[in-house]
Structure 1
């Protein structure tokens, strides 16, 4: 009798759900995940820095609580002392920077009517916005005029305009994270495991939009090198940042095998890049990256709003200009950190999840050598 119930329990708890999953898997065949390149599946010990602060939230301050709805990117305008950030409700907001976080004031500046992500400053005082829905925008006249610069490249519409940087000669460089999936569907780009991302330039003088690189795995953050010779851009799915040499039109890896998934990357003006990591590579992520059929099952759940790829232990990685890791600031409960900008002695972080900007005093809470 005990054997009977044991067999019956096994049948109903394991076999039937498995059969249902296999049946659904076969029925829903429009989503076809691909095997990921081998170099996206490994973690490199050389990407782990010697200095570590794994208690980020212990000393964190929160700016603009309740007034900043998912502030994804952060751009600091030194002359005015203002942070510009794009929120999920379409607002580009301005936040004043002060010694005390409590003194910061949040201002609704311009609403793009889309989803502003990357933000940079043009050479004539304009604010350049990579809007996931609208395309590449130019906001001038202190917010009085918003102009669409480009929303397609090579006849293919920008589906997820993500990050932008501006060269000293005025040329704009930006990423289209995916020409297939929009901001509301970005998880499916991750799960499909195919290269839909592009690196693109826009010349304001000639009005020409040019694709520099294609077939990128979720092209994300971008920054121009201090000597203006190359761009540094992140591919989230491959967990790497690469250099694109503008004149030579060649690519080389800056850092790969990152301990998390990179989002935005910012140069601090002092010889360092700061790479935001939205999450560590959790066990569900590791398994799904290795097995396409798991990603298909996860995509089925995602279509019903069920998130199976948990995110945790987000943070910001500081590297030098050669990609050598210096310090990592993170915390286990932290997730969805999308940008890290060093302003003075503080690290300011944007997020796709929180309703505020997180700030850490790097002098009071420094990264230290691991024991």
Structure 2
């Protein structure tokens, strides 16, 4: 009897302690107005991603984004802070964005080692890299020499960068990029998604004048961006709310944002234009209809529940809760889904960050997976 009473008392004490324990997040309510789209028509589940093959397994961890030069070299950055060149099936180390430590690749060391996210090739043959922690860099692709163009500490408009992410270059050299959050760093991106606060920005940097400015703020985890073929607008992924915006750069709508796609079947990451003018959207995690609503849909309206979850579930556990279903979408310039590519059991890949077309092949990136997937 005393043992039973003591157990109940202890349990009540634990609950009270958890209730008063500070939560790392301060969420706002967010309601997904529609259930996830039905998996019919162009979204019908298929096996197309299973045509891909893993390469550099165990060597490249989290090749998140890609670019290429005129001679056929492919470039990417990985979660350990390194930049790589890929040529004829071989891998060549270019440089380390931060300190080259044996612990690089462990999340707690990312602020020291760096984490290259968006990567593009400029007109002069240099790599432009958005490092999530340090800033925007110009990097010589052969020597690895780095030039800091804009530091995260400096930021823009008096607000430092916390999580630099997407990157795009215009034909005139203008650099467009996103800062996913002014609160959370990349290694805490799952807290940013759960918190669902609008702390992201779309920004612009002029390499001639050295000036930067904010184009849009108040974005929900601003992530991948892509310029239209005419470069008259940008697409911006708002990852945490499964939406893509269009921001007009020229014309009568210049400076106006509008919804390009909403209620996506997953959380969008990078957006890349194909050789035929369509857009390919990497899906980091699927959001599928079922007997119960998706987890983030269900907890979205309840900030108190979000705070409690963030207190009791360690960040290392979140990956185990995610469904391993690989997916990317191909969409028209009107925001219509034309085709979807699935790996239903994730046996080849899942958590797709980027879909880059290069020399007749598709290169599929990821945030953390220890391989690169290539599709003919």
Q: Give the TM-score normalised by structure 2.
A: 0.83
Unpaired runs of 5+ residues, structure 2, are: 99-113, 289-293
| 1:339 aligned onto 2:364 | no
Deviation of residue 21 (structure 1)? 4.2
Deviation of residue 144 (structure 1)? 4.0
- The Cα offsets for residues 200-255 of structure 1, whole Å up to 9 and x where unpaired, read as 00000111110000010000001111101111110001111111111310001111
- Residue 48 to residue 357, structure 1, CA distance change in 2 (3 Å): farther
1:282-361 to structure 2, matched below 5 A, reads 283-303=294-314, 305-307=316-318, 309-334=321-346, 335-361=350-376
1:190 is matched with 193
Question: Secondary structure of 2:317's match?
Answer: coil
Distance 1:12 1:54 in 2: 51
Q: Report the structure, 1 or 2, having the larger strand content.
A: 1
State which of 84, 93, 100 in structure 2 corresponds to 1:108. 93
State which of 251, 257, 279 in structure 1 corresponds to 2:257. 251
Unpaired runs of 5+ residues, structure 1, are: 97-102, 362-371
Deviation of residue 165 (structure 1)? 0.3
State which of 266, 279, 298 in structure 2 corresponds to 1:273. 279
- The Cα offsets for residues 280-307 of structure 1, whole Å up to 9 and x where unpaired, read as 1263233222432332222113446332
Deviation of residue 49 (structure 1)? 5.4
1:116-155 to structure 2, matched below 5 A, reads 116-140=116-140, 142-151=142-151, 152-155=155-158
Distance 2:223 2:217 in 1: 13
Q: Give the TM-score normalised by structure 1.
A: 0.85
- Residue 210 to residue 71, structure 1, CA distance change in 2 (3 Å): same
Q: Please, which moves more after superposition, 216-225 or 281-290?
A: 281-290
2:47 is matched with 55
| 1:80 aligned onto 2:71 | yes
- The Cα offsets for residues 123-168 of structure 1, whole Å up to 9 and x where unpaired, read as 2211110100111111136334211111211111111110110011
Distance 2:16 2:52 in 1: 46
Distance 1:65 1:194 in 2: 35
Distance 2:170 2:40 in 1: 30
